[in-house]
């Protein structure tokens, strides 16, 4: 079995080396692992760090955007280069812990699931932060569930793990954070078997580099309706 870990990156100079180290240290028995990093035109020195890292480690591939296009666009570029049997999406900001890959992978390895979501709202420990972000996440998940007939608890989670077969059957289009509701709408339409597992969450605030804003929440609402009815 081969695992492809896709890491979209934009201006994560302070965390990129640490997240690569954490992902690299995760040992998955009887599995090969490739790490694909897509730099979405960082301007804070992240690209220089990635140039050095790519030269030192054979299982790491670094791809670059010539302009800032957004998380969804970076993920599509990473997907195009993925050769693994299973794909894991990993943010670069240290909010999500790669040590939980084993739990995320297990429903797929056991043959029960095609797609696994890591939920921040089931039972894992999490940093206490923004009430309005929490409420926004719950409302977006509720809207998504109503239109997809799923009962997810955390549609907006970064941790989405899935068989590469998903990429063969679905074309993704969103460039920014709309990838999350688009992904959910399309895997639901295709009838893929979906599981959720609890994960921990070490959220950060805006002074620490958090990027998503209320504008992305508004855009997500339109994305939920668009990919449920029109694509």
- The band of 225, judged by pLDDT with boundaries at 50, 70 and 90, is confident
Give me the CATH number covering residue 62.
3.90.550.10
* CA pseudo-torsion sign 106, 111, 112, 116: positive
Q: Mean pLDDT in the chain?
A: 89
Among 92, 79, 61, residue whose Cα is nearest residue 170: 79
Q: What is the pLDDT of residue 8?
A: 97
Whole-model pTM: value is 0.90
Residue 79 has pLDDT above 90, yes or no: yes
Among 157, 154, 156, 159, residue whose Cα is nearest residue 90: 159
Average pLDDT of the residues in 186-195 = 96
Number of domains in the chain: 1
Q: Which domain holds residue 160?
A: 2-229
Q: What is the pLDDT of residue 128?
A: 60
Q: What is the pLDDT of residue 217?
A: 72
DSSP assignment letter at 161: E
Average pLDDT of the residues in 17-41 = 94
């Amino acid at each position: 079995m081969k695992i492809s870990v896709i890491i979209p990156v934009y201006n994560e100079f302070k965390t990129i080396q640490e997240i690569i180290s954490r992902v690299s240290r995760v040992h998955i028995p009887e599995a090969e692992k490739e790490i694909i990093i897509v730099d979405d035109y960082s301007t804070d020195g992240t690209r220089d760090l990635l140039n050095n890292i790519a030269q030192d480690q054979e299982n790491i591939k670094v791809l670059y955007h010539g302009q800032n296009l957004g998380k969804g666009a970076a993920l599509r570029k990473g997907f195009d280069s993925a050769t693994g049997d299973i794909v894991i999406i990993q943010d670069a900001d240290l909010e999500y812990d790669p040590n939980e890959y084993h739990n995320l992978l297990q429903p797929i390895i056991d043959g029960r699931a095609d797609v696994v979501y890591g939920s921040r709202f089931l039972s894992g420990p999490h940093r206490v932060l923004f009430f309005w972000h929490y409420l926004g996440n719950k409302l977006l998940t509720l809207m998504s569930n109503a239109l997809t007939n799923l009962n997810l608890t955390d549609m907006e989670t970064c941790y989405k793990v899935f068989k590469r077969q998903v990429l063969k059957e679905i074309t993704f289009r969103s460039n920014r954070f709309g990838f999350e509701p688009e992904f959910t709408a399309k895997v639901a339409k295709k009838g893929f078997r979906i599981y959720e597992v609890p994960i921990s969450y070490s959220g950060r605030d805006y002074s620490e580099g958090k990027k998503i804003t209320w504008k992305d929440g508004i855009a997500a609402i339109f994305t939920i309706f668009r990919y449920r009815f029109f694509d």
